[in-house]
Structures are given as C-alpha cells and as structure tokens.
A and B are shown apart, each in its own frame.
Chain A
Amino acid sequence: MNTTLNFAWRNIWRHPRRTILTMLAIAFGAALLVFSIGLQLGQYDLMIKGSISIYQGLLQVQKKGYLDEPKIRNDIKDIQNLARTIRDKTGIKSITARANGFALVSSEQRSYGTLITGVEPEYEKLVSSIPGTIKEGRYLLSDDSHEVIIGKSLANNLRIKTGDELTLMGSGRDGSIAATILPVSGIYDSGSKELDRNLIQIPIKTFQEVFSMGNAGHALIFYHDEIKKEHFFRQQLQQLIADNNQLLTLSWDQLQPGIKQAIELDYSSGWFMYLVLVAIITLSILNTFLMSVLERSREFGIMLALGYKPFNIAKLVMLEALILTFFALTLGTLAGLAINVYFAVYGLTFEGMEEIAQMYNMSATLHPQITFESILIGPLVIFIFTILSALYPAMKIRHLQPVEAMRKI
C-alpha cells in the first residue's frame, strides 16, 4: 500500500502545471458552490424567520377549513382557555389566541377597509414582532381594554395620530352590525407595508364583544425561532388538541406556501446552474485523467509485464484521482468557507437588495449560513462527479495488453 501511495503521489506531480490547473478547476467549483449554497441557505433562513416572526408564527392551530375560507364563523370555542391549557401543559409561553375579522375603519376624514385582529396583548408580544415596533404611543394594555393599535401607513392614510378615535364597522359573527369607537393607543411600523396598511389590532375580549363572538377566536399562534424543531412542536400541539377533531395544526409552510415555493424555486434553479458548472468542470477533469492514462501506456505495459495485475494499476489510477480531488476540494472548500465566514461576520448587501428584502419581510443584509450541509453538499457533489470521471480511464486499463502497450509511445 505504501508503495502504491508513493507511486500515486509521484505520478500526480509528473506534470505539475497540469495537476495544478486541474486542482484549480475543482477548487474553483468547490469554492463557488460552498459560497453560493451558504448564501442561499442563509437567505432562505432570513426569509423564513422574517415571515414567521412578524405575524404568522411557526405553527397555528385553526379550525379545519379556516385556512382556505377564513370566515368569521369557522371559529374555535373557548379559545383563551385552550391557549392557557396549552401554555400550562407545554410550559411554553409563546402561544397566543387571535380572532380575526374585517371592518370599515373610519377617522373623521377617511375610511378604509382592513383586517382587524383581536389579540391577547401579554402573549402577542412573545409571538409577533409587531408589538415591538410601536413607534408612537404604546401597545395594547390588557385583554379587555378599549383601544386599538394601527400600522403607520394606514394611520397616514386615515390622517390620525395616537389619542384620536377610530370608528370600526363590520358585521359580527351572527350577521349583526358590529360597530364601536376606540381610541388609538399606538402606531406600529413593522417594516412590511402590506401589514402596516391592512392590519389593526384590538384586545381579544373587546373583539369578542364587538363582533358577537362569545368566547371564540380563530387561531392559536405558536412561535419558536428554531425552525428545525417545527416537527417536534407540531406533534406536541397535535396531541394536546387531539380530543377536538375539528382542530388542525398548520405549519408555516402551509400558512405561507408562497415563501416555501419561492425558496424551492430558487433552490432548484440554483442547482440547475451548479450542475451545469460541475458538469463543465468534470469534463475538463475527465480529459486530464484520460490523458494521464493514455500517455502512460508504455509504462503500464511494463508494469503488466512485471506481473502487476490490471486491477492494481486501475487502483493506482483511482488513487491518484482521489488524492488530487481530495486536496483540490479541501483547498476550494476552505476558500469558500473563508469567504462565507467573512460575509457572515460583516454581512453582504448589494444595490436594490433593500427593496427585494422588503417583499419577504427580511433584512437587507445577507449572512451566509455556515452549517455542515452548506459546507459539504457542494464539494460532495463535485467529489462524486470527479470520481465517476476517473472511473472511465481506469476501466480502460483492463483491456491493456502488455506487449502492445509497451510498443506505444
């Protein structure tokens, strides 16, 4: 084995220039893949975190059918009690109840139709980032206080400020007119124009009173920042609501399929490009390996004549490829990793990023993800392709005839 290793090592450096170029090709591919996959995964993480932390949560419990048809009558009875029970049993505080409706919201001068949500202020703060983005005034005080908070864009359109009164008019659960007048206690600026324009919040008990909801609501929102644990939490929630077969646990990708699909689309088009690159690089490498075998026909002939088995020569050739690829991949991976570490620390942003980031409620600075997956998946793919391309010339050795081979130049 030691001889073979020695052999292989020396053979690699017979043509230093060619070897270095081949290694550079592999390293270039590896560095590029490590960098861009890390960047992509980092971006997806931001997109998902942005979309779940602002309002929708990681998981929600809803009545079956509510997701497709968010009607006021598709409700969950005794929702605050349910929320409390789940909080007590799991020990997790970041679970809150919400009730949703629509209303025509009027100030003295303007009227707009918006989504209106009844929330539990104490727990809403743990689930959504909106309470933390109050720019004027303060957030809602308690479950039954008579007040409303409103997004900045809508406040501008309605021409109101904190302390002004808003008239809400919609229809209640029973079809009756739901109307009330509430003072604005706070104005939030969530960074998402769509939310700021379309969502106002009032305390949940006030909501239930105005919209004749009794003690019902529409969703339990669960937030946790570890997206990977989604499955675990989902099972826990599912068990706790198992006695009511009308209820359903939904995950963030069911709640916001657009985000999931945008990510999938981006990832698959990314892989189309990566595979093309890897294929181009593999073909160049194939040429190098092929040549390095063909030009050594004479040598292999002699080795065969000396009693080497074709299999052993093939093994030698494969070992050469393996060593070369290994060093090149290490080099490329380290280079890609270095770039990623740099940007993970300092962040990466480019012109126009801000506008795009806003579409997905994420920050405009990208930080590449540095995980085993992001570092190893690209180099692994290149490794597989490279070894496959080394197999072809190695197979050719089986057909070598010692005498003929020795005669070749």
Chain B
Amino acid sequence: MRSLPLITSLAWRNLWRNKRRTMVILFAMVLGVWAMIVTAAFMRGMAIQMLDDTVNNLTGHIQIHHKNYLDDPVIENSFFGNDTALLNTLKLPDIIHWSSRIRVPAVISSERETRGVVLLAIEPEAEANISFLKNAITEGQYFSSNDENGIIIGKKLAQNLETRLGKRVVVMSQNTKNEIADSGYRISGIYDTSGEGMETDFIFITKRAAEQLLDSTGLSSEIAVITRSLDTVLSVQKNLAAKNPELDIQDWSSLQPYTKLVVEMYSDFQYVWHLIVFLAMSFGIINTLLMTIYERTREFGLFQALGLKPGFILVQVWTEALFMLTIALFIGNFVSWLTVMTTGDGIDVSAFSQGMELAQMSNIIPFVILFEDLLLANIIVIALGLLTSLYPAWKASQLVPADAITRI
C-alpha cells in the first residue's frame, strides 16, 4: 500500500503523455456514456408518459366492474355503485380519488351523420380529479353539476357529425329493460386531445342524465380508482378484491397489457443497449491501452529490472484505465445532465403524431433520469471497463525484463 501514491501519480502522468490520443479515446467514451444515459432517459420518459396517459385516459390505476362487464360491456352488467358496504371498502388511506361511471356502447346522430361511440356518464366533480376530460375542454364548459343535461363530445367527432357547440344531437343506447332508448342533448362542451382516437370514441353526459336515458338509477358500470402512488396499486387492488369478491377488480397492468408490456420492454432494452454501446467502446479502450503499453515496453522492462513486481505494473496500468473511465463517466454524466436540462419539457415528436398515437404515446417525450438508470449505466461502464482493461494490464505485467529493455 506504500506504493499507492507512486502508482497513482505514475498512472496520472502516463495518461497525459499523449494528450491527443487520450482525448480521442475519452471523447469516444464520453459519447458512449452520454448515449447510454440519454437514451435510457428518453425511453424512461416515453414509458412514464405512456403510463400517465393510460391512467389519465379513463383507465385510472384500478377499475371495479361487474364480473361480466369486460366481456360484455352493457348496462345489464353493472353493479350498485352507491352501495355503502362497497364505498366503505374504498376508504383506504392509499386511495386518493375515485369516480363512478356508466360506460356503455351508444350511437350518436346529428342532423346529418351517425356514429358509433362509447357513452360515459360521469359524476363531474369526482371525474375531474381522475381523468383528462376537464382540462381538455377547448370550447364550452365542463359540467358544473350532476344536474346538467348537456353533452361533451370530441372535436373530431363534432367535425365528422358536422355539428358544433350549442347544437343538438341524439344519443341512442340500450336501457336496463333491454330496449333502445334515445334522448336529445345540447352540446355543452367540446374536448381536444392529442390523439383523434379518443375524440371520436368517447362522449360524456352526467350520471344523472344517464339515469333518465338508461333507467339506471344507482347503477355503475365501473369505478376508476387512483392510488397514492404506483407502488401502492397492487396492495390496494388486492385489498379491494378480497373485500368485494363478487366484483371484478383489476389494476392498470391487466386492463392495459400493451402499456405494461411496452413499459417493461423499454426497461429491458436498456441493458441490451448499454451492452452494445459498451462493446463498441471496449475495442477502443483495449487498443489504446495496448498502444500505450507497447510504446513503454522499455520502461516496463526497466521497472522490473529495478525490482518492481509484475503486480505493480498490472495495478499501474489498471489505475490508468480507472482514471480514464472515471473521467469519461464524470464528463459523460455531466453532459447528459446538461442535455436533459436544456431540452426543458422534452423532445417534441409531434411531426409523428399519428404514429405516436398508434403506439399509444403522446407528442412530447420528456427526458426522465431515474437514479437507478444512472447507476446502471455507470456501473456497467466502470465494471466492464475494468474487466476489459485487465487484459492489457496483464499483458504489460508479463513482459520479460531483458527482452523488454533491448526493444526500441
């Protein structure tokens, strides 16, 4: 251990013997580290954004349905959403919001056109806490109370129906008596989302208005629940499912398996990407170290002739590699941080908006750097970096003094 200061100062000086070479390899490594972190942050951002959108777009964290509802989403398969026993089970500290809805297939007609849609009957106040609707209204108003008799439809649907704010539309759906019921509503609000799919699919009325249309007093098709955080979703879901065995209670990951899959796949892809980037860097690291050793052959021979152990040489070359890796990581992390800071809200990919919609993603992808992702990239670089530089370091320690000194 006495030789530690000697090793470090030797390694440090050797690193800067050929400045240009060291700079070139450092640049390559910084680029690699940057690519690792920024790509991971982008994918993380995509995944988180997608999850947020999924939760916001009516899914919530957990949904409660009648056992048959998901297979056969009609008013017949609904439950008593006002049931005190059920509502009591929702009084958990981890549940922050919930909203009860009726959600049934319907047909909407203007004077000119007809479309198939999903009719959502909501409790305005509760719904405002958990889904996108209130903030997406661009014309007219959100429902101010459950007594309102207006209808809120999407911008694209309004276009397709050739109708506008203030006009009347007719909604038809099957009521609890299995008859087709219809009722006229005045368009009181128009919402605009980044994807047109939402806009053409969902129309909203108040739950009380639906009770008249569908004869569904007291009934709910679903209750959407938002928990305190993503980590508590599973425990809350289990808790609710155990207390309400007659109902179907699922969390977002089983309701939206595609979202879950993509989120997981992005996480897994990180490992693959990091390894590929590292492999690309490793050739450069080994080669550069081998070159520095090659030109110092005489020197290493001399060291050994002077009595320094091969182990000393190995550790010295290794320390050089460690310095190089550390500097690259330091700058790489800093540059990544700078990149993320300067992009603000994220990368605007709205040029691909319809493609993003197809993939169920939104138009602005924020960079999200998670500590665990940062740690992963850094550990991979330092651990694998030291592993690969073991080879040139070992090579250096194996030189035979007499041979080495005589070489030019």
Q: Which residues of B contact A32 (CB under 8 A)?
A: 276
The answer to whether A102 and B284 touch across the interface, beta carbons within 8 angstroms, is no
B280 contacts the other chain (CB 8 A): yes
Tell which of B24, B108, B294, B353 has the most Cβ of chain A within 10 Å. B24
Q: A287 and B25 in contact (CB under 8 A), knowing A113-B107, A276-B31?
A: yes
Q: Which residues of B contact A84 (CB under 8 A)?
A: none
Q: How far is the CA of A163 from the CA of B144 in the complex (A)?
A: 48
Q: Which residues of A contact B28 (CB under 8 A)?
A: 279-280, 283-284
Interface-located stretch among A202-210, A228-236, A256-264, A362-370: A256-264
The answer to whether B291 and A352 touch across the interface, beta carbons within 8 angstroms, is no
A106 contacts the other chain (CB 8 A): yes
- Select from chain A the residue with minimum beta-carbon distance to B113: A71
B71 contacts the other chain (CB 8 A): yes
- Select from chain A the residue with minimum beta-carbon distance to B351: A261
Q: Which residues of B contact A260 (CB under 8 A)?
A: 355
Residue A359 contacts which of B71, B72, B358 (CB distance < 8 angstroms)?
A: B358
Interface string of A64-103 (1 = CB under 8 A from B): 0000011111000000000000000000000000000111
Contact residues of A: prevailing secondary structure: helix
Q: Which residues of B contact A198 (CB under 8 A)?
A: 116
Give the shortest distance, in Å, between A80 (CB) and chain B (any CB): 24
Residue A283 contacts which of B31, B71, B180, B352 (CB distance < 8 angstroms)?
A: B31
Interface-located stretch among A122-130, A181-189, A218-226, A288-296: A288-296
A254-281 interface with B by 8 A CB criterion: 257-265, 273, 276-277, 279-281
Q: How far is the CA of A264 from the CA of B352 in the complex (A)?
A: 8
Q: Which residues of A contact B35 (CB under 8 A)?
A: 273, 276-277, 280
Q: Which residues of B contact A290 (CB under 8 A)?
A: 20-21, 24
Interface string of A163-203 (1 = CB under 8 A from B): 00000001100010000000000000000000000100000
Q: Which residues of B contact A18 (CB under 8 A)?
A: 287, 290-291, 294
The answer to whether A287 and B264 touch across the interface, beta carbons within 8 angstroms, is no
Q: Which residues of B contact A111 (CB under 8 A)?
A: 105, 107, 172-174, 180
Q: A359 and B359 in contact (CB under 8 A), knowing A15-B294, A171-B114, A283-B28?
A: yes
Residue A109 contacts which of B25, B178, B351 (CB distance < 8 angstroms)?
A: B178
Return 22 A-B CB contacts under 8 Å, by A number.
Answer: A18-B290, A25-B283, A69-B160, A70-B160, A102-B116, A104-B116, A257-B355, A258-B355, A261-B355, A262-B355, A265-B355, A276-B31, A276-B35, A277-B35, A281-B284, A283-B284, A284-B284, A284-B285, A287-B25, A290-B21, A291-B21, A359-B258
B334 contacts the other chain (CB 8 A): no
Give the shortest distance, in Å, between A47 (CB) and chain B (any CB): 10
Q: How far is the CA of A109 from the CA of B77 in the complex (A)?
A: 13
Tell which of B107, B349, B408 has the most Cβ of chain A within 10 Å. B107
Q: Which residues of B contact A71 (CB under 8 A)?
A: 112-113, 160, 162
Q: Which residues of B contact A273 (CB under 8 A)?
A: 35, 39, 273
Q: How far is the CA of A161 from the CA of B71 in the complex (A)?
A: 16
B354 contacts the other chain (CB 8 A): yes
Interface string of A1-42 (1 = CB under 8 A from B): 000000000000001011001101100110010000000000
B236 contacts the other chain (CB 8 A): no
A284-309 interface with B by 8 A CB criterion: 284-288, 290-291, 295
Residue B24 contacts which of A69, A115, A287 (CB distance < 8 angstroms)?
A: A287
Residue A112 contacts which of B116, B279, B284, B288 (CB distance < 8 angstroms)?
A: B116
Q: How far is the CA of A286 from the CA of B264 in the complex (A)?
A: 38
A residues touching B (Cβ–Cβ < 8 Å)?
Answer: 15, 17-18, 21-22, 24-25, 28-29, 32, 69-73, 101-104, 106, 109-115, 156-157, 159, 170-171, 175, 198, 257-265, 273, 276-277, 279-281, 283-288, 290-291, 295, 352, 355-356, 359-360, 409
The answer to whether B352 and A28 touch across the interface, beta carbons within 8 angstroms, is no
The answer to whether A409 and B408 touch across the interface, beta carbons within 8 angstroms, is yes
B194 contacts the other chain (CB 8 A): no
B357 contacts the other chain (CB 8 A): yes
Q: Which residues of B contact A287 (CB under 8 A)?
A: 21, 24-25, 284, 287-288, 291
Give the shortest distance, in Å, between A352 (CB) and chain B (any CB): 5
Q: How far is the CA of A171 from the CA of B261 in the complex (A)?
A: 41
Q: A284 and B116 in contact (CB under 8 A), knowing A21-B290, A295-B295?
A: no
Q: Which residues of A contact B288 (CB under 8 A)?
A: 284, 287
Q: How far is the CA of A284 from the CA of B265 in the complex (A)?
A: 31
Interface string of B250-266 (1 = CB under 8 A from A): 00000001100110110
Give the shortest distance, in Å, between B307 (CB) and chain A (any CB): 26
Q: Which residues of A contact B284 (CB under 8 A)?
A: 25, 280-281, 283-285, 287
Q: How far is the CA of A198 from the CA of B118 in the complex (A)?
A: 12
Give the shortest distance, in Å, between B142 (CB) and chain A (any CB): 25
Q: Which residues of B contact A102 (CB under 8 A)?
A: 107, 113-116
The answer to whether B159 and A69 touch across the interface, beta carbons within 8 angstroms, is yes
Q: Which residues of A contact B24 (CB under 8 A)?
A: 283, 286-287, 290
Q: A280 and B31 in contact (CB under 8 A), knowing A273-B39, A352-B265, A359-B358?
A: yes
B128 contacts the other chain (CB 8 A): no
Q: Which residues of A contact B286 (CB under 8 A)?
A: 21
B214 contacts the other chain (CB 8 A): no
Q: How far is the CA of A295 from the CA of B18 in the complex (A)?
A: 12
Q: Which residues of B contact A263 (CB under 8 A)?
A: 355
Q: Which residues of A contact B193 (CB under 8 A)?
A: none
Q: How far is the CA of A377 from the CA of B174 in the complex (A)?
A: 58
- Select from chain B the residue with minimum beta-carbon distance to A198: B116
The answer to whether A113 and B358 touch across the interface, beta carbons within 8 angstroms, is no
The answer to whether B277 and A276 touch across the interface, beta carbons within 8 angstroms, is yes
Other A-B pairs, 13, CB within 8 Å; known A71-B112, A284-B28: A28-B283, A72-B113, A104-B180, A111-B180, A113-B106, A157-B105, A258-B357, A258-B358, A264-B355, A276-B32, A280-B31, A285-B284, A290-B21
